[in-house]
Structure 1
Amino acid sequence: MTGEKGEEDGEDVSWDLEDLTMEELSEGQAAARTLEDMLTLSSQALVQAEVEDLYDEVRQLGQGRFGRVMLVTHRQRGTPMALKLLSKASTTRQGFLYEFCVGLTLGSHPCIVATYGIGLETQACYGFLSEPALHGDLIALILPKRGLPETAAQLCVQQLASALEHIHSRGLVYRDLKPENVLVFEPGCRRVKLTDFGHTRPRGTLLRLAGPPIPYTAPELCSSARLPQGLPIQPSLDAWALGVLLFCLLTGYFPWDQPLPDQDPFYQDFLDWRASGKACDRPAPWVGLTPVADRLLAMLLDPRPRQRGPVGSVRAFLGQSWQETAGGPERARDEGEGPQ
């Protein structure tokens, strides 16, 4: 959930020219200015009312630590909508407005949940409306140790890459890619959309990781050499997270718990395989993936952020096999076919 007091990441909206090109710096600053203007206008236009005065609650769609999402219908027009309510006890007004405005900025893309231009303030909550997703989120579809059918995985990743490219084109970095933030609008992942923009920030915002890393955390954020001043965030963070999510969709596993070689043997095994490229060094969790999937994941999961493939890299691999078929021929793999 968004706008929570005490975010897991410390941040400072400033930029370090040593890590950003002038074009990247300009993109981030322009995005920040746009959001500042929208926040001012949205703050002045909040509707002051209680939910029951305007909408009939149908059922709950989701629940988090700091709020909930309800399926509601408009009392006069009967239109079904999703209403996200964030408790004032755990959400700042600025944090709520920020997520609301980011959603408005990005929601025109077909793979991003559309946010409607109505912000609501009740006595206890802040809220905003968006299009409803009636098939839940992606986490419910991923089978442990199995993942998704390959067709669904490819459809899902193709749409998410498009959504992330749109976010990056606006000078923003999403920063919160995980199955819980992917809403399913049609069975089989034929239509999925990205939601929840509370952690989205302008490119170049200085980020300091306050808590322990998770599988989706890019390794550059784990480097103590960049603290305490922080790391200027880049779209490459989203590319890493997309690679981890893709691995989960294909296998039903995380590839590692955290990208720290001295603390996570699965990540160290991955680095060893990258270095050698030998089949004998292939980590056990990667068994069942084809050489095509290996190459795609090697691009998205490059530990070097400037060499990491962009999210759009997935397009060149669509339509090819990513999972070995059961009972199929043995993998023919030369030493050079491991991730490099």
Structure 2
Amino acid sequence: MASNIQEVTKNTARHVLQLITQTSENLKMMEVSEHFETIQELGTGSYGKVLLARHRGSVFLRFKDSPLITIGLNEDKVKRCIPQIASALEYMHSKGIVHRDIKLDNILLMDIECNTIKVADFGLAKLQGTKAPSLSWFIPYTAPELCSLKQGDQLLLHPSIDIWSFGVMIYAALTGSFPWNEAKGRDPIYRSFACWQVRKDVTLAPEKWKKFSLEARKMFWDLLALNASERCSAMDILKYLHVPWKAEMLSENHTRSTVKQMANRGNDVHSGATASAASCLLPDEKTSLAIGAEGTTAALGMSQICHGLCSSKVWRTSKKTGCDYFIPQLFQEEFTPCEVYKDSTSEDPVRYHLHLHFIRMTSNIKELTKSTGRHVLQLITQTSENLKLMEVSEHFDHIQELGTGSYGKVLLAKHCGSGKHLAVKLLGKKKVQMDNFLVEYGMSISLSGHPNIIRTHEVAFHTSRDYAFVQEVATAGTLYSLIKPNVGLNEDTVKRCVPQIASALEYMHSKGMVHRDIKPDNILLMDFECNIIKVADFGLTRLQGTEVPSISRFTPYRAPELCSRKQGDQLLLHPSIDIWAFGVTIYFAMTGSFPWKGAERRDPMYRDFAWWQVRKDVTLASEKWKKFSLEARQMFWDLLALNASERCSAMDILKYLCVPWKAEMLSENHTRGTIIQMVYRGNDVHSGATASAASCLLPGEKTLLAIGAEVEIA
């Protein structure tokens, strides 16, 4: 399996082999009924079935039994699913694993609203580079390179196979039907799609694809490129989340504006599309492009309910969903700190100090967090035993300084042996103790598998003056450097960043870690368009439940529960601290200014915000918040809830990506429509907001709501 595979894939293979060897040696024979009480059958497949069961003697958590698609999904829900599936695929591909069976049946729901979904069923998953035989049958999700294999031929597996399936799955979720029965020349619908893509003309789509906006068609081209090597990565499609995907959502002006944008950018994935788009413009529009004028896009509309999922000759969608299968475990063995360090004495001060540090970290923490703590402890113990003394110049050519901070600096350097450009982080020994350096390094390494967290290489050393470790380079700087003071970024750019930051935070929090320093300075850009961004700097990161002391210095990102601590008081860390900082980061990115100097009573701007939230009236915002739409204000209420226990999770805000955030983007009709929608739903996060919103309606609108009539949103 490991032939023709990169080193990272070989490491994954060794780890999997170790797991299956241990399992085979300890596989016990027992009946399900001995330890589980069967409740119902969740689903069946070619090789077996999945049961919903209650473990005898344990607390049972019931998951809602709902199919992913029964009558179709609206665009908002699909856009909540996409970043989560993309993140899971990117994680798998970073480990050198190809799923090979990405489809709607294998996406499991943790709630009906798709706020949390999980990828499952790894029965066909294999390592990248594994030889896959030809197939005797095909489904709509099968990539054309697999469909075209002759009997006896083999293909080396590549992540692009999953990307194709991902594209077909998005189409099915949006339309309730498949784009074709099979990706072969004998299928006329697939043939028409292939011809369209070969002609490289995004505007001349076949009938089945005219239901999508031009930007959505481009997205499908990226995912469903006929040449496997030209397909995008899973995370690349996040850049399309902020635009409408359904053509019926767009006015003619919006469509023409999109065409102008494509022609104006001139950097389309498929260059033929740019020329084709330009050919659709009116003479005066071409003139404006010639002198560099920007086209503006109309506001986003509300999504429509999609049609039911049609049955196919060759494939049926499962009607059942189940529980979580995709929980990567970093460390499996069970042991206590005392067992690890039972021989530790004051003769080994570093190891003994780490022992005490771990004891402090793991008290009052859930079992999952303790597991993460054990893994980090193992990493930093190994590092402390093998930390070598050497100067940076022995192995790296210093190119330039990328940034400096309170405790050290980051250098851009070229590795003398490989010629690869890397970032070398240096922490001064006079300011940073060795155990704190080792904790930061251990946290960074354990989080490196996520596509939106900066990758840390397993290279750590110390010089005469600094502790050092090596990371990948963020070529475009920090998010902070991109934000114009008192102006901010455009909404599209912010909406490209938000799902990626949310995904990174959700990953950290699922491992029981709290970042504690989320801000634009610690969001690194891999490109200036923010298509790929990464969370960095884990110097303050600690495990959930760790006691942290009060601080004498506050920043706008500090949560109020941290600002209100008296000298000497301590607080148990919780992910809600990061959620607050995330909310402030979004505000700063949108406006180029802070909502307050510090979240404390003596700050008048924070006091105004607190009073607004206490009154539970989303419409009566203070001046600084009137620039946002009603839906965006609700989003900030979710993120910046005064009561830490009421804050949402990071991924919860994905449901707001499909609505405008800036108030100036909305017409009066749209604003009134949003209010009507809030009242009609009657399940607002803050119930007071519903009553307040109702007070803004005209008598006729109230009458419509009173008799239960459905109100269409402009």
Whether TM-score is above 0.5 comes out as yes
TM-score (normalizing by structure 1) = 0.87
Verify the 8 A CA contact 1:27 1:203 in the aligned structure 2: no
**Which of 190, 193, 203 is matched with 2:531 structurally?**
190
**Which of 562, 575, 592 is matched with 1:252 structurally?**
592
What amino acid is the match of 1:267?
A: Y
Verify the 8 A CA contact 2:388 2:461 in the aligned structure 1: yes
Verify the 8 A CA contact 1:15 1:206 in the aligned structure 2: no
The 5 A counterparts of 1:1-340 are 13=360, 25-224=366-565, 228-261=568-601, 263-278=602-617, 281-325=620-664, 328-329=667-668, 331-332=671-672, 336=689
Pairwise CA distance, 1:311: 1.1
The whole-number CA distance in structure 1 between the counterparts of 2:666 and 2:617 is 23
Higher-RCO chain (CA-CA 8 Å, sequence separation at least 6): 1
Pairwise CA distance, 1:215: 1.6
What amino acid is the match of 2:605?
A: F
Verify the 8 A CA contact 2:564 2:600 in the aligned structure 1: no
Q: Secondary structure at the match of 2:398?
A: strand
Pairwise CA distance, 1:296: 0.8
Aligned residues: 321
Verify the 8 A CA contact 2:361 2:542 in the aligned structure 1: no
The structure whose residues are more often strand, as a share, is: 1
What amino acid is the match of 2:689?
A: G
Q: Secondary structure at the match of 1:183?
A: strand
Pairwise CA distance, 1:328: 4.8
Unaligned runs of 5+ in 2: 1-358, 676-687, 694-714
Pairwise CA distance, 1:304: 0.8
The Cα offsets for residues 211-230 of structure 1, whole Å up to 9 and x where unpaired, read as 133221111223347x7451
Identity %: 32
Change (3 A) 1:229 1:268: closer
Verify the 8 A CA contact 1:206 1:229 in the aligned structure 2: no
Verify the 8 A CA contact 2:660 2:666 in the aligned structure 1: no
Pairwise CA distance, 1:30: 2.6
Verify the 8 A CA contact 1:269 1:281 in the aligned structure 2: no
The Cα offsets for residues 34-61 of structure 1, whole Å up to 9 and x where unpaired, read as 2222111011222321111101111111
Verify the 8 A CA contact 1:39 1:101 in the aligned structure 2: yes
What amino acid is the match of 1:192?
A: I
Which stretch of the first structure deviates more once superposed, 132-141 or 109-118?
Answer: 132-141
Unaligned runs of 5+ in 1: 1-11, 18-23
The whole-number CA distance in structure 2 between the counterparts of 1:276 and 1:171 is 33
Q: Secondary structure at the match of 1:70?
A: strand
What amino acid is the match of 2:654?
A: R
Verify the 8 A CA contact 2:403 2:410 in the aligned structure 1: yes
The structure with the largest alpha-carbon Rg is: 2
Q: Secondary structure at the match of 1:71?
A: strand
Verify the 8 A CA contact 2:410 2:423 in the aligned structure 1: yes
What amino acid is the match of 2:572?
A: P
The whole-number CA distance in structure 1 between the counterparts of 2:605 and 2:475 is 36
Question: RMSD of the alignment, in Å?
Answer: 2.4
The structure whose residues are more often helix, as a share, is: 2
What amino acid is the match of 1:240?
A: W
The whole-number CA distance in structure 1 between the counterparts of 2:586 and 2:392 is 38
Change (3 A) 1:224 1:75: closer
Verify the 8 A CA contact 1:272 1:281 in the aligned structure 2: no
Q: Secondary structure at the match of 2:439?
A: helix
The whole-number CA distance in structure 1 between the counterparts of 2:361 and 2:418 is 45
Pairwise CA distance, 1:160: 0.6
Q: Secondary structure at the match of 1:216?
A: coil
The whole-number CA distance in structure 2 between the counterparts of 1:93 and 1:224 is 28
The whole-number CA distance in structure 2 between the counterparts of 1:96 and 1:214 is 23
The whole-number CA distance in structure 2 between the counterparts of 1:27 and 1:327 is 44
